[in-house]
Amino acid sequence: MTLHPAVEQADALIDLKRYDQAQALLGRRLAEDPDDIRAWVRLGRCQLAAGQVEQALTSLGEALQRAPEDIGALYMYAQALRRADHLEQPERWRKAEEALRQALRVDPQNSFAHALLAEFLMYYPTRRAEALGLAREAVRLDPESVEAYRALWRTAGAAGETETYTWALRQVLRLEPTDNQALYLVSMQEAHKPGTTAAQAAEVYADALAAAPDNAGLRHDLDRATYRLLRGIRWLALICVAAAGVMVDLFPQDGEAARELPVPLGNRLWVLVVMAAIWGFGAWRRYRRLRTGVQLNVWSLVRRGRWARVVLAQAVWAVLCALLISQLPWTERTVPRILFWAGLVPTLATIWFDRRKKP
């Protein structure tokens, strides 16, 4: 069916989210020809996009009154019913199912109708097997349909079919690599595999964000993985404090002679080399091996996140205490012991309970 130029123009306005102008244009078109089915359907689509669900149902009802078997009107009517919160749920879901069953009677080979009906039925616990079957049929009818695979992953997830769920998610990303929800779910699966390190999880989320930079869920999870990376540097700082304490022999064993103070310069320099190696291999080398996106997020998180700054400050404080203990020529152990506990206690006091803190 050839679209009237006004309807085509309204389509473009809807895509640009200029709903008021589109509605005005469609209103003028319907005043000229009240039987233009496509204009009624576009008006319903426009009203639905603008959040005017009741008006959308009225417009689509007008379209179905004139053409009860119009596929586009049946689809949009079902979609509008899905969001019709002013109606009782059993009523609107029954009407939506009737509309989609009618669409399937009109066109039994229609993949999209199967997919949409599957997504409705999966919310009924007793009909999830039927929903999964409809989604599989949608994929069979159109193996290159993103909507079919979306329906399959959702119904498979609801039915507990893990392998089908994972496969369908991968197919969605094959066909539409920037799909926000699929990217988020696949990244979650990858990042939560047993044995996945914080660095690996951060890189998974960074890769996904490169494809969907506006995905808030991926951004949040990248921040969480980066925070896990930052938390790890405190253990390096504590090792430095312990190494300094051992060098100065802060807590000599009973019955053993304490090491003579001050510690020779060569020993002090040697422990400095050990600390440098700890940070070089434990932090700097790992940081340099991270992908650029994760490296940038480390510093971004430090600027944005309160607990990220706390973690970094604790690590710096502990290393400073370690340097004061190991590099000054102490002649007695009282002050080094104070520095030892000052470097150790604040970090240990928070290291166990800040795991679930927001970065």
Quick one: pLDDT at residue 255?
Answer: 62
The total of structural domains in the chain comes to 2
pLDDT of residue 201: 93
| CATH number of the domain that residue 57 is part of | 1.25.40.10
The pLDDT of residue 85 is: 83
Identify whether residues 261 and 124 lie together within a single domain: no
Query: What local confidence, expressed as pLDDT, does residue 123 receive?
Result: 86
Q: Find the mean pLDDT for residues 264-275.
A: 92
Q: Which domain holds residue 121?
A: 5-184
Using the predicted structure, report yes or no on whether residue 352 has a pLDDT greater than 80.
no
Task: Tell me: do 13 and 128 sit in the same domain.
Answer: yes
Task: Assess whether 62 and 141 both reside in one domain.
Answer: yes
46 shares its domain with 143: yes
pLDDT for res 359? 67
| pLDDT of amino acid 214 | 87
Domain boundary residue, one of 184, 205, 239: 184
Asked if the structure places residue 13 within a domain, the reply is yes
Domain assignment present for residue 211? The answer is: no
User: 37: which residues sit within 8 A by CB, 6+ positions away?
Assistant: 63, 66, 67, 70, 73
Residue type for 311, please? Answer: V
Q: How far apart are alpha carbons 235 and 221 in whole angstroms?
A: 23
Q: How far apart are CA 320 and CA 198, in angstroms?
A: 26
What percentage of the chain reaches a pLDDT higher than 90? 68
pLDDT above 80 (res 253): no
> Is 70 exceeded by the pLDDT of residue 320?
yes
User: Can you tell me the mean pLDDT for 312-338?
Assistant: 93
Pick the last residue of a domain from 162, 184, 206: 184
> Is 266 strand, coil or helix?
helix
- pLDDT of the residue at 355: 66
pLDDT at 211: 86
Alpha-carbon distance of 182 to 45, in angstroms, equals 25
Those residues whose C-beta lies under 8 Å from the C-beta of residue 48, and which sit 6 or more positions away, are 56, 76, 79, 80, 83
Question: How would you class 293 by CB atoms within 10 Å of its CB: exposed for 0-12, middle for 13-18, buried for 19 or more?
Answer: middle
Please say whether the dihedral angle defined by the alpha carbons of residues 300, 304, 306 and 307, taken in this order, is positive or negative: negative
- Is there a domain that residue 193 lies in? no
Q: Which of these, 102, 106, 100, lies nearest to 80 by C-alpha position?
A: 100
pLDDT at 313: 93
* pLDDT score recorded for residue 299: 92
pLDDT band at residue 20 under the 50/70/90 scheme: very high
Q: Is the pLDDT of residue 303 over 90?
A: yes
- Alpha helical stretches, state H, 142-283: 146-159, 162-175, 180-191, 198-211, 216-248, 265-279
Q: Is the same domain home to 257 and 151?
A: no
Q: Is the pLDDT of residue 245 over 80?
A: yes
- Give a yes or no: residue 206 inside a domain: no
165 domain residue, yes or no: yes
Asked if residue 180 and residue 104 are part of one domain, the reply reads yes
Q: Do residues 222 and 296 make contact, with C-beta atoms less than 8 angstroms apart?
A: no
Please check the confidence at residue 256 and state whether its pLDDT lies above 80. no
Rounded distance, CA 87 to CA 66, Å?
24
The mean pLDDT of the chain is 91
Taking a C-beta distance cutoff of 8 angstroms, is the pair 307, 354 a contact?
Answer: yes
> Are 249 and 165 within one domain?
no
Bigger pLDDT: 357 vs 150: 150
Confidence band (pLDDT; 50, 70, 90) for 358? low
Render pLDDT for 83-99 as a digit per residue (tens, 0 to 9).
888 888 788 888 899 99
Does residue 357 surpass a pLDDT of 70?
Answer: no
- Mark whether 139 and 28 lie in a shared domain: yes
Domain C-terminal end among 184, 216, 243 = 184
pLDDT of residue 203: 92
58 inside domain: yes
As given in the structure block, the two tokens for residue 212 are: 């969907």
On whether both 233 and 342 belong to a single domain, the answer is yes
Whether residue 338 is found in the same domain as residue 255: yes
| In a domain? residue 192 | no
What is the arithmetic mean of pLDDT over 319-325?
A: 95
Q: Do residue 240 and residue 180 come from a single domain?
A: no
Domain identity same for 132 and 248: no
The pLDDT confidence band at residue 356, using thresholds 50, 70 and 90, is: low
Does residue 121 form part of some domain?
A: yes
Residues 98-127 pLDDT 10s: 999 999 999 999 999 999 999 989 988 899
